A and B are shown apart, each in its own frame.
Chain A
Amino acid sequence: MRHPIRWIALGMAVVVVALGVVLALNHRSEPSIPRLVQEHGTAPDFTLKTLDGKTISTAALKNKTYVVNFFNSWCIPCQTEEPALKAFYNEHKKEADFAMVGIIIDDDASTMRNYVAKQQIDWPVAVDPRGSASLSFGTTGQPETYVIAPDGVAVCGTLGPSTQQVLDIWLQAARDGQECTAKNS
């Protein structure tokens, strides 16, 4: 082959261009929707003890539209969304087909008891000592919120803090069997 080096150089140039395109187009986007919600998967079952010693399980939540919120006492966005969650709960707690469960992630029971008492959180807060609930949901941080329709499918949710307005929209969508449109910014 004549001028082999020219051909090799041409090949290298092509490789460099390809690499440059890959590097240029790449952008790390943080997902905001949990994977379980993206795939409309069935919410996993769980049976956990709450901070008061009672048991809460998904068997009791069948045919209800319920909200699962993974949180703890030290994460800043969890503290930010606390008032929104309280307002949302107060708005809907009288409804028969509504339920809300908080699940502790990465925190210990005694600290959480103090926190729950101080924040006057009335919905059941479950302890997940082995992390089995968070593993089966596939959580990657906190706070994470899931809205589960009566048929057990996780239809809406978010990674990060939510607002009362958005939670209302999601609850309605889950009840009506609609797609989730509202997104948290």
Chain B
Amino acid sequence: MRKVLPWLALGLIVVIGIVVLVARSRPDNSPAARAARLEHQLACPVCEGQSVADSNSSQSQAIRENIPRQIASGMSDADIRAYYVARYTDKILETPSNSGLGVVAWGLPTVAILLGAAGIAVAVRRWSATPRLPATEEDEDVVRRARAHDDGLPR
């Protein structure tokens, strides 16, 4: 019991900490946080590979000025995204959609990793389960006799 006590104490601290952390990490829905999130979810329409948040192009600046106004006018995050998709097609979204072909993008690596983990678990379980051959009396005899005669072989 004494050996396990420090671990129990540690576990308790970690659990309390996780509760605090999760409570603190609730998503921020203030207008400023929403604007920042949206700016990272939209790709700059004229640049190569930058988000609206990162790009200095005039188009991105215009979008950055427009989003707070759209938030203030009561549009939801989804509405705002849809507004830009209607004008710039799907390629203004920084991630593939959750439906249609986009499922492949999200699903393929996830499923592959889960399958791999399952495969490793199964293989290791199978290996551990096969019993090692136990030494028989004969085997023990052989070893005893060999040890009795010192042939100069290392023990």
Contact = CB atoms under 8 A, between A and B. Distances in A.
Interface of A: 35-36, 105-106, 130-132, 134-141
Given A131-B62, A135-B62, 10 more contacts: A35-B87, A105-B58, A131-B59, A135-B87, A136-B87, A137-B87, A138-B45, A138-B87, A138-B88, A140-B88
Interface string B92-131: 0000000000000000000000000000000000000000
Looking at chain B's contact residues, the main secondary structure is helix
Interface string B23-44: 0000000000000000000000
B92 to A, nearest CB: 9
Contacts, number: 36
A36 B87 CA distance: 8
A8 B136 CA distance: 40
A134 B87 contact: no
A162 B88 CA distance: 22
16 contacts: A35-B89, A36-B87, A105-B58, A130-B62, A130-B65, A131-B59, A131-B62, A131-B65, A134-B59, A134-B62, A135-B62, A135-B63, A136-B87, A137-B87, A140-B45, A141-B46
A105 B46 CA distance: 13
A137 B88 CA distance: 9
A135 B58 contact: no
A129 B89 CA distance: 24
B76 interface: no
Contacts of A36: 87
- List of 7 A-B pairs having minimum Cβ-Cβ separation, nearest first: A131-B62, A138-B87, A106-B58, A140-B46, A135-B62, A140-B45, A138-B88
B66 A130 contact: yes
Contact of A140 (B59, B62, B65): B59
B59 A132 contact: no
A131 B87 contact: no
B10 to A, nearest CB: 42
A163 to B, nearest CB: 24
Interface in B64-79: 65-66
Contacts of B63: 131, 135
Contacts of B88: 35, 138, 140
Contacts of A141: 46
